Amino acid sequence: MVAPGGGELDVRGLVRRVRAVLDKADALRLRTMKRAVEILQPAQAAELLVAAADMEIGFREFGLNYGSGRDK
């Protein structure tokens, strides 16, 4: 693949870098959620976890309903 400047584009390198960023973001989300659960009262922690699950389900449903836009 050719880069905008005319040189070769290192797609594999870009994919590795994006994967690393996504992995770090996942780790941050997990640490944040664990810390929040430690701080909250049990009932509050349960509400937070249910809300997070509902949000994740909503994102998934949105993606299934509207797709990535690549098929257009």
Total domains, the chain = 2
Q: Which two three-digit tokens encode residue 11?
A: 């797609």
List CB contacts of 52: < 8 A, sequence separation 6 or more: 33
Both tokens of 13, joined, read 């390198």
pTM of this prediction exceeds 0.85: no
Could you tell me if 1 and 35 lie in one domain?
yes
Distance of CA 9 to CAs 5, 14, 25, Å? 9, 9, 25
pLDDT, tens digit, 9 for 90 and up, residues 21-48: 999 999 999 999 999 999 999 999 999 9
CA angle 29, 35, 40 (to 5 degrees): 120
- CA 61 to chain CA centroid, Å, is 15
Are 27 and 48 in a shared domain? no
Per-residue model confidence (pLDDT) at position 33: 96
pLDDT value, residue 2: 61
Range of 4's domain?
A: 1-39
